[in-house]
Structure 1
Amino acid sequence: MAELNALLPEFKALNIDVFTASVDPEAKAKIQLDEVQPGFDVGVALSLVQMQMRGLYISHPRSPEEHDRPFAEPGLFVINAESAIQIIDISNAPFTRPD
């Protein structure tokens, strides 16, 4: 989120809105949100059904330290001005996040 936040002025100059979503519950997400102070909206507590509806890969934690519930691997969706999907990038591993 910090990298995305740093790029936000460039997106705004191009009239691009940014929104992110996380499966983290609100209390857990708030820790990162307080640290990053994103200049864009962030949805939290994405449900398993919502992850599935978006076609995201769903992983299960390998340890309690990793996560306490199934979580989505990264997905990027670009919607154009006509509300049509322009780009979809769905990853099946966390290290393949788009820059």
Structure 2
Amino acid sequence: MTHSIKLTTGNTFPTTEATLLDGSFINLGQAHSGADWQMIVVYRGKHCPLCVRYLNLLEQYKTALMDIGVSVSAVSADSKQQLEDTMEKLTITYPIAYGLTEQQMKQLGLYISAPRSEQETDHNFAEPGLFIINEVGELQAVNISNTPFLRPELDVVVRGISFVRSQSDYPIRGTVAY
């Protein structure tokens, strides 16, 4: 049995950098585009059609998220070439990064899978994760899955964040560590 790290909501989100296609770096936990909260979507990679569909669907919610002060970024462990190939299937305008390392995956508490074959991919990859970081850099909400078909519905996520942001005294949930 392996031991994995579990991030605790309410704690500072770890600095996690990844590379954009233009070669610049992005701090995944840092809001951008005028927002003060950040949503990070970790996807499995080029080999996952469910990921491509989810990333394209996320684009449809980008404006609603920005309206409530939440910027969006996505990342995978894919190589630059794999991300370039994936971009041919994506119609997105939010930042998407590549090169998430296995150490970073572990630091974020993500499930990690080995490829089933070389046709799938050539490296271990993260299973889906979704992180919401608030204006002070704390992990507000987290959803981690071990399989691509268990992901939060984006309309529910947007409504939930909107509710939390409208309540001045709504606490971060799940902060009792064990």
Question: So what's the TM-score if we normalise by structure 1?
Answer: 0.91
* In 2: Cα distance, 1:76 partner to 1:48 partner: 17
Shift of 1:46: 0.8
Q: Which runs of 5+ in 1 are unaligned?
A: none
Higher relative contact order (CA 8 A, sep 6+): 2
**Residue equivalent to 2:136:** 82
Q: Which runs of 5+ in 2 are unaligned?
A: 1-54, 154-178
Question: Within 5 Å, which residues of 2 pair with 1:1-80?
Answer: 1-80=55-134
* In 1: Cα distance, 2:80 partner to 2:151 partner: 22
Give the number of the structure whose alpha-carbon radius of gyration is greater: 2
Report sequence identity in percent.
34
* In 2: Cα distance, 1:38 partner to 1:31 partner: 14
Q: Which runs of 4+ in 1 moved over 6 A?
A: none
Shift of 1:34: 3.7
The structure where helix makes up a greater share of residues is: 1
Q: Does 1:95 align with 2:111?
A: no
Aligned length: 99
* In 1: Cα distance, 2:96 partner to 2:140 partner: 21
Over the aligned positions, Cα root-mean-square deviation in angstroms equals: 1.2
Cα-to-partner distance string for 1:47-74 (whole Å, 9 max, x where unaligned): 1111111111000111122221101000
